[in-house]
Structure 1
């Protein structure tokens, strides 16, 4: 399928799910691209994978009772993030240990809950790998509103988040409330993950957080530039991935991830070649 045919399909009223899928994919990529810069800066890629596990019971409960999946995921993710932030204050346990305990337990709880629903296998597959073509109109507004809220919060807390990412002890000495900023970042990552789950699935959502930001990091040493490049790379990969998946009938989530990975490898190769020249 040519790009022109793809554009025609987007404009076709009978294929309205296609443009909704594109809007959701691009919005999710933009939000994850921005917040992913903080995740990469702090070297906490594990948190993205863990949060994806944490939101699962909320998604499962919402599915079983016929509620909104996004709101269910947000509730579960925020609750788990609060528990992690509180328990991580115990100096006998490192943060990654607490994350491993709570977030995996949350995922296991989600598995148990979704197993009680009719059509268990198909539902689980949608949660794990995404179901971008079945997104209702209401989710467009929820994703847009949540995304704007995440960006506004990141803008308001930018200086403090960068400070604790670079030197937590110095931040404490300056009187910055590290605990509350950690909690805020967990919650914002949770929100970004939840709005992306339908696009790319629970398993692959980490790619939207990490790969665009890691690619941008290879291109620049300036955080401001990185925070422009990362969402742009993510949005472009979403567009290209959706086009390829629609044209050749590939899974959308997996295709977007492979496009993102291709971008990363191309930039990495260019950097290696450039350093040897």
Structure 2
């Protein structure tokens, strides 16, 4: 027990834990819909689409969050606009924006004297550098994400399982999709400075995907994703502390590992259930 609790006696690890928990809750709200809607590629593109704004803000000495929000907003608008085209598939549009924004970001970062440091910080974040102000920001982002998820629940549900019915019910699926993209954008922008854009994708996808293997109701998937994200954060920090590994990457690795463990467990449970049915 002392081995498990030792890291959390340090103040910056405590802040990292709370930061990771808040990020897990935000990602659970947005990531559940990403998994149910099959929007994983969009989530990845949105995460990396922030690079130009972050790079430009870093180069000019401005707030990184504002740069990230502006760039992610532009990416979201681009995805929404191209998604309305009948000549270009949604995946093609996302892929083009993904490559274009990422390339532009790398070009801007290459103008900086600290290219490697800037890009590494953007991709992997620094969960151990979370400050009290960051926790307040994450708490506000969580409240906003919860409000959007609650108010848009009915429209998101219809959009995820029957878009045609959503249109019939007057739920305006195109607007609902735009709001959902905004929710994913909020989760990514709020979380990237904690675990980085490359690793926030792990918390956005892995916990909801693991929870979806066990339960079917959306609120339960969100709850399960939040719990798995919290466990991943705590376990990742403990492993990082004792193993000397990168904290953000370790948290994301644990989250992905829990998904594969859940997938294996459901497979074994399914096989045992089949054997029990045949035996009876």
For structure 1, the 5+ residue unaligned runs are 10-15
Which structure ranks higher in relative contact order (CA pairs < 8 Å, sequence separation ≥ 6)? Answer: 1
- 2:77 is equivalent to residue 76 of structure 1: no
**C-alpha deviation, 1:199, in angstroms:** 2.5
- The residue number in structure 2 matching 1:22 is 17
For structure 2, the 5+ residue unaligned runs are 273-280
Taking structure 1 as reference, are residues 28 and 231 closer, same or farther at Cα in structure 2, changes over 3 Å only?
same
Distance 1:7 1:87 in 2: 46
Deviations 1:185-231 (A, max 9, x none): 11111110122212222222211111000100111122221111111
TM-score after normalising by structure 2: 0.91
- The residue number in structure 2 matching 1:171 is 166
Greater displacement, 193-202 / 231-240: 193-202
Aligned pairs for 1:82-101 within 5 A: 82-101=77-96
- 2:67 is equivalent to residue 66 of structure 1: no
- The residue number in structure 1 matching 2:145 is 150
- The residue number in structure 2 matching 1:275 is 270
Distance 1:193 1:236 in 2: 20
Distance 2:256 2:77 in 1: 32
- The residue number in structure 2 matching 1:210 is 205
Taking structure 1 as reference, are residues 7 and 18 closer, same or farther at Cα in structure 2, changes over 3 Å only?
closer
Tell me if the contact between 1:215 and 1:264 (Cα under 8 Å) persists in the aligned partners.
Answer: yes
Tell me if the contact between 2:211 and 2:224 (Cα under 8 Å) persists in the aligned partners.
Answer: yes
Distance 2:26 2:96 in 1: 27
- 2:3 is equivalent to residue 8 of structure 1: no
Tell me if the contact between 2:26 and 2:141 (Cα under 8 Å) persists in the aligned partners.
Answer: no
Distance 2:262 2:166 in 1: 34
Distance 1:60 1:144 in 2: 25
**C-alpha deviation, 1:259, in angstroms:** 1.0
**C-alpha deviation, 1:100, in angstroms:** 1.0
**C-alpha deviation, 1:66, in angstroms:** 2.2
- The residue number in structure 2 matching 1:105 is 100
Tell me if the contact between 1:150 and 1:191 (Cα under 8 Å) persists in the aligned partners.
Answer: yes
Tell me if the contact between 2:7 and 2:13 (Cα under 8 Å) persists in the aligned partners.
Answer: no
- The residue number in structure 1 matching 2:45 is 50
Tell me if the contact between 1:49 and 1:205 (Cα under 8 Å) persists in the aligned partners.
Answer: no
Deviations 1:141-178 (A, max 9, x none): 22221221111111110110110111112222322222
Tell me if the contact between 2:26 and 2:187 (Cα under 8 Å) persists in the aligned partners.
Answer: yes
**C-alpha deviation, 1:136, in angstroms:** 4.0
Deviations 1:83-114 (A, max 9, x none): 21022111111111111111221111111112
Task: Select the residue among 110, 113, 117 that pairs with 1:118.
Answer: 113
**C-alpha deviation, 1:74, in angstroms:** 1.4
Distance 2:27 2:52 in 1: 21
Distance 1:139 1:264 in 2: 28
- The residue number in structure 1 matching 2:228 is 233
